[in-house]
Structure 1
């Protein structure tokens, strides 16, 4: 009985993993390549592509020594980048957004950066 329960549990886990990993995109026509099925202008999707784009944007920002990238958060999803955190002066808010827009693969930038207030609010 214990072995039977274990086998049923393993079958349920395997079934739910297979269902979870299926794509929500419709199946392409036989013989069609992935590029033609998804369209050539579509950005790369998926967690791996999002992480790669996030790293590219963060590295581009970090290459500018006048900007303290340690207080900036970058989130990327399907080519849309969101910047949040703080910078040391107001001119850096737009500079960081322009740097992010210049990275290949970035389609849009949402800029939520703020200027860091000195300790004590002065």
Structure 2
């Protein structure tokens, strides 16, 4: 009967250091995956919000030019922006109007250097 008592006291002592470290490492890996995915979602959301705001601003600006019978100039756009507000880009990019499009210094295609013909590979010489 003594063997049964030793068996019970041995397994009632709690977790070993290896078991605790294993659980902590697994939780750390899961947390790093979660943080990286949340950061990616946040960045995509900021880009989408900026794009939607720029499209809306462009429409309002074109209507403003028609209603006021004005021609686009950088001064006319700056005056329009004073009345519209500064919160177009969620990360504070500089807003400009070029070639009938509202551009952001952070989120626009030209600002990121993404050309449609560029597939990200090294060119063959």
Larger Rg: 2
> Given the two structures, how large is their TM-score scaled by the length of structure 2?
0.31
> Given the two structures, how large is their TM-score scaled by the length of structure 1?
0.31
More helix by share: 2
More strand by share: 1
